[in-house]
Amino acid sequence: MKLRRMMPAWLACVGVCLGLVGCARLTETGTTLFATNVPAMAIVKGQMMQGEVKLVPDRTGTVVLNVTQRSTTLLGYTPVSSCMGRLRFTSTAAGEMDLRCNEGTAVTLHFSLISDATGYAYSQSTTDPVSLTFGLRPEVAKAYLTVPPERKLVETADGAALEVK
């Protein structure tokens, strides 16, 4: 008799727990569903990198970059092949990106938005400047990317990308 009375309470508790887990999953799926993915270009250790910045409605996001095939490494530098990190807004139109690369470079970039899904970021690693743009066409991004003094930034023949020479 007692077991039958306790059964509805136990089932209600399990139902509430499952409901909470479902809400958390739904929130995560919802924010991912409404995220904005934009192309990104960066120069790290003198190498051109391309990838994607994901801007999530909760004012966070991620950065994923890979070295381009056209990129060449500066003499004396360990080549970078990939970088990734997280971003968070610190004000209405600015924030910080925590960028980590496969060869050990770790830098915090400060970014500013130009529009809702375009912007640029700058920082200084232990040896070189690091710059990044997101959501910008190559001809516009060129103005925001910093190259080492001995190199120059040029558009590819088709105008679809940039390379460091």
Q: Judge if 91 and 129 occupy the same domain.
A: yes
Q: Judge if 29 and 42 occupy the same domain.
A: no
Return per-residue pLDDT of the chain as tens, 165 residues: 454 555 566 656 666 655 555 555 555 555 667 889 999 999 988 889 999 999 999 999 999 999 876 555 555 566 788 999 999 999 999 999 999 999 888 999 999 999 999 999 999 877 788 999 999 999 999 999 998 888 888 888 777 778 888
148 Cβ contact list (under 8 Å, min separation 6): 46, 74, 128, 129
Q: Judge if 15 and 40 occupy the same domain.
A: no
Q: Judge if 23 and 51 occupy the same domain.
A: no
Q: Judge if 1 and 50 occupy the same domain.
A: no
Tell me the Cα Rg of the chain.
22
Q: Judge if 42 and 28 occupy the same domain.
A: no
Domain that holds residue 54: 36-164
Q: Judge if 64 and 23 occupy the same domain.
A: no
Number of domains in the chain: 2
The pLDDT score that the predictor gives to residue 117 is 93
Cα 29 to Cα 35, 39, 53, 64, 126, distances in angstroms: 10, 22, 18, 20, 38
Going 79 to 103 to 124 to 40, the CA torsion angle's sign is positive
